[in-house]
């Protein structure tokens, strides 16, 4: 057999044995047999190279190097394969790096709501819930908003046209304020009452940087034998201070809500020179008509109620300039909280 044929045969046999080596011990034995420095078959072939004629030498020398490189590479590759844990049936390679997945986080408004509940919980207010689809009685009538009141205008509310929802129970609408929960709680419980209710409300307002047609309010209600407006102011001030971490001042401006008497708009300011007062909600002493509607005796109990805009508070704390950011779902915004 000429030298080239011997090299071809060497390569074929070596590659076959390398592929057939079942573990690293068997592979090492193959390496010693074929490439071993003292007794390897390649060593013998190298010794035979001297027999080549001068003309054959470059061709045979090149083939020798190619074969040596191919067998060495095959050995290395097989070694890597054998050192990996077995590939499970079905072609799953458990050693491949996993697909990283993004860890989500709570929406800033949900975080704010949790914090509101936590702060108010420390003041003894428990959280209550009510439906977002309401009837006219709880959204208006029980809140002393008569049939001819402009707040009931269909253009200022999201009335539902769905027949199945309105059948037998009168028109339904998406609640326009969380004050509905005051009624639902007072229908169920006797005084003393100290609750908050945080949730979504809906109004067909024109959308801009501070107005949305779906936003959140926190309603507060405290009813007892001697509840006063001074306590209302204290609770609001302590709440705002706890949430914003500043010495917050609260200002009441006379206002009107059908379900409170007297009624006020609540403004807030903190120690930041040049910042104007910020309107954060409405409040007042629960109107005697509302207390009577739920079967309380207005001569024996009194109460305060307030309704704050959750987005406005959160925007103030984080310096968010546009309320639409909360619902745009831009992860660059959401990741910051």
Q: What b/e sequence results for 91-115 when a residue is b if at least 16 CB atoms lie within 10 Å of its CB, and e otherwise?
A: eeeeeeeeeeeeeeeeebbeebbee
Q: Is 284 in the site for ligand FA5 (CB under 6 A)?
A: yes
Dihedral of CA atoms 209, 212, 218, 220 in degrees, nearest 10, equals 100
Q: Binding ligand FA5 by CB under 6 A: which of 8, 56, 141, 205?
A: 205
Q: Is the peptide bond before 253 cis (omega within 30 degrees of 0)?
A: no
Cβ closest to ligand FA5, residue 75 vs residue 302: 302
Tell me the Cα Rg of the chain: 40
Vertex 244 angle, CA 207 and 116, to 5°: 75
Q: Which is nearer to ligand FA5, 60 or 290 (CB)?
A: 290
281 binds ligand FA5 per the rule CB under 6 A = yes
Q: Could you say whether residue 197 binds ligand FA5 (CB under 6 A)?
A: no
Q: Which stretch binds ligand FA5 (CB under 6 A): 37-45, 52-60, 84-92, 208-216?
A: 208-216
Closest by CA position to 282, among listed 252, 251, 307: 307
Distance of closest approach, residue 285 Cβ to ligand FA5, in angstroms: 9
Encoding tokens for residue 63?
Answer: 């083939």
C-beta nearest to ligand FA5: residue: 309
Q: Is the Cβ of residue 75 or residue 310 nearer to ligand FA5 in the bound state?
A: 310
Cβ distance to ligand FA5 smaller for residue 212 or 302: 212
Q: Which of residues 293-312 bind ligand FA5 (CB under 6 A)?
A: 305-307, 309, 311-312
Sole window of 12-20, 62-70, 144-152, 280-288 interacting with ligand FA5 (rule: CB under 6 A): 280-288
Q: What minimum distance in Å lies between the beta carbon of 100 and ligand FA5?
A: 37
Burial zone of 41 (CB within 10 Å; 0-12 exposed, 13-18 middle, 19+ buried):
middle
Q: How far is the CB of 176 from ligand FA5 (least distance, A)?
A: 7
- Does 212 help bind ligand FA5 (rule: CB under 6 A)? yes
Binding of residue 280 to ligand FA5 (CB under 6 A):
yes
Give CA separation, 67 vs 53, 171, 300, in Å: 20, 89, 104
Is residue 181 within a helix (H) or strand (E), and if so which, with residue range? helix 179-188
* 257 lines the binding site for ligand FA5 (CB under 6 A): yes
For ligand FA5, give the closer residue by CB, 14 or 310. 310
Closest to ligand FA5 by CB, 10 vs 257, is 257
**Interface size with ligand FA5, residues (CB under 6 A):** 23
How far are the Cα atoms of 70, 196, 222, 223, 303 from residue 130, in angstroms, in the given order?
76, 11, 17, 18, 20
Neighbours of 8 (CB within 10 A): 14
Measured from the CB atom, the residue of 10 and 259 that comes closer to ligand FA5 is 259
Binding site for ligand FA5 (CB under 6 A): 177, 179, 203, 205, 211-212, 215, 217, 257, 260, 263, 279-284, 305-307, 309, 311-312
């Amino acid at each position: 057999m000429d030298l080239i044929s011997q090299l071809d045969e060497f390569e074929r046999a070596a590659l076959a044995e390398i592929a057939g080596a079942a573990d690293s011990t068997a592979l090492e034995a193959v390496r010693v047999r074929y490439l071993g420095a003292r007794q390897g078959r390649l060593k013998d072939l190298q010794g035979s190279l001297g027999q080549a004629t001068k003309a054959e030498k470059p061709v045979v020398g090149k083939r020798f190097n190619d074969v040596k490189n191919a067998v060495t590479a095959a050995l290395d590759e097989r070694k890597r394969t054998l050192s990996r844990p077995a590939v499970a049936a079905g072609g799953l390679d458990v050693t491949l790096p996993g697909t990283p997945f993004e860890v989500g986080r709570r929406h800033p408004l949900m975080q704010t709501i949790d914090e509101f509940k936590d702060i108010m919980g420390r003041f003894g207010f428990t959280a209550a819930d009510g439906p977002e689809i309401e009837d006219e009685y709880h959204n208006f009538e029980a809140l002393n908003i008569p049939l001819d009141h402009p707040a009931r205008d269909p253009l200022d509310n999201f009335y539902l046209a769905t027949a199945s929802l309105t059948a037998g129970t009168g028109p339904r609408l998406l609640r326009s304020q969380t004050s509905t929960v005051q009624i639902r709680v007072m229908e169920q419980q006797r005084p003393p009452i100290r609750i908050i209710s945080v949730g979504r409300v809906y109004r067909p307002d024109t959308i801009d940087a501070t107005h949305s047609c779906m936003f959140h309010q926190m309603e507060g209600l405290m009813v007892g034998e001697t509840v006063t407006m001074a306590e209302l102011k204290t609770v609001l001030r302590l709440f705002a201070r706890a949430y914003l971490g500043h010495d917050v001042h609260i200002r009441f401006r006379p206002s009107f809500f059908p379900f409170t008497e007297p009624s006020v708009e609540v403004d807030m300011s903190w120690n930041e020179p040049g910042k104007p007062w910020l309107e954060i909600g409405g409040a007042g002493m629960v109107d005697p008509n509302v207390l009577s509607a739920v079967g309380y005796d207005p001569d024996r109990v009194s109460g305060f109620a307030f309704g704050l805009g959750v987005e406005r508070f959160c925007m103030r704390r984080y310096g968010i300039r546009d309320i639409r950011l909360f619902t745009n779902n831009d992860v660059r915004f959401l990741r910051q909280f």
